Amino acid sequence: MMAAGQASKNGAHVTLIDKMPALGRKLLLTGNGRCNFTNNRNIDEFYSCYGKNGKFLRNVFARFSNRDLMEFFKDMKIDIQIEYNSSVFPKSGRSSDIVNCLLDFMAKAGVKIVTECSMDKIVIKDKKVIGIIADHELMECDALIVATGGCSYPKSGSDGSGLKIAQEIGHRIITPRPGLVPMIGEGPVVRRLNGLSAQNVKAGLYFDDVCTAERRGDMLFTHSGFSGPAILDLSCNMPMDHKENIRLDIDLMPDLTEAALDRYLLELISEHGRMRIVNILASFLAARMSAYIVEKSCIPMNMVGAEIGREIRLGIIHSIKKNDFKIRGIKTFKESMITIGGIALDEIDPRTMASKLIKELYFCGEIIDVAGISGGYNLQAAFSTGYVAGETAAIPGCH
């Protein structure tokens, strides 16, 4: 939608083709239906949020940054709200406002929209795009922007079909895998903690006892494992071919060292010596988590604070600071927010989003091999690459 509107705004006659009955289905799902469309951090801090491929975005962010995106929506009468971790949402809390804004943008720019129409093939002559086959009919064009998304949430339309078509015309595809997706655990403890949330934990992902990544943030225990921002970010570090000896380590109170936590617990025990230890712990942990910690520490549930000696107290502290869970894998594309992988970046011009193999062919959004952590970074990349692709494709023979 950004690419189509921007191309039309720059003088091109634009037709947007979408296989779904209505536009923006996936956008409606983002941010739990609230649409975390960017982040308020300095743009120079964005690049590390995309891993090794972040440097590819330098040119597009220079032309259309997070500040530009926020101003774009403000100009379209969208009030914004900056929340935890500098995430930016529409103040209304409705992702539909963002979708409607983009529909208005395209309408004012004069974009023609064709829905329930699937692209089957890209037609090329002399290494230049001349059209597409859509629903078995030829549609001619001077330039083509492919913004079909990745493989995540396939019911929204991003089912990987665009990647297959790009591969058919010679583009190399980095094998797609789910990203920002819940992890699957095992054992009765995981099922027992189902529905319990924990705030500001430190979560570490270990392969063969080597920590490969750590994240701070909120998490959620589910019926099958783990979710929440910290876990979803860590899921992007799960390799496709590593399925054994994977574990998740959770520190429930990362802001306190074991010594500091010991002093804090001692103060609570001295003040509330007659209170059961499970209730003392519940003063700073969730009640169900407190019960889990007491059980894990092999302490009777009716034990009171005055009965807690140093050895038991240190055991409690260890149980709070170190919680290991075995990981069996991650959920599928049906539950992943993004796709990791896509069209190889060395085959795309980062200044224009043009294909280096086929003239007048452009790619933008999740179809390319760029994936970020949660917090608005993926939508910003989509909007920025869409903006540049649309602006450049409107100029005949620009590459």
Write out pLDDT tens, residues 337-380.
Answer: 999 999 999 999 999 999 999 999 999 999 999 999 999 999 99
Q: How far is 346 from 361, CA to CA, in rounded Å?
A: 15
Q: For residue 192, what pLDDT band results from cuts at 50, 70 and 90? A: confident
Q: Which amino acid type is present at position 25?
A: R
CB 285 within 8 A of CB 359: no
Q: For residue 181, what pLDDT band results from cuts at 50, 70 and 90? A: very high
Report whether pLDDT(243) > 70: no
* pLDDT tens readout for residues 274-309: 999 999 999 999 999 999 999 999 999 999 999 999
Looking at residue 398, its pLDDT comes to 58
Looking at residue 399, its pLDDT comes to 55
- Tell if the pTM clears 0.85, that is, is over it: yes
Mean pLDDT along residues 57-62: 98
Looking at residue 186, its pLDDT comes to 86
Q: How far is 281 from 271, CA to CA, in rounded Å?
A: 13
Distance of CA 371 to the CA centre of its chain: 8
Mean pLDDT along residues 328-333: 93
Looking at residue 245, its pLDDT comes to 86
Mean pLDDT along residues 252-263: 97
Mean pLDDT along residues 234-239: 89
CB 201 within 8 A of CB 219: yes
Looking at residue 53, its pLDDT comes to 96
73 vs 399, residue with greater confidence: 73
Which two tokens mark 96? 């539909």
Looking at residue 397, its pLDDT comes to 63
Out of 98-102, 183-187, 337-341, 349-353, least confident range: 183-187
Q: How far is 351 from 57, CA to CA, in rounded Å?
A: 9
Q: How far is 156 from 141, CA to CA, in rounded Å?
A: 26
Report whether pLDDT(206) > 80: yes
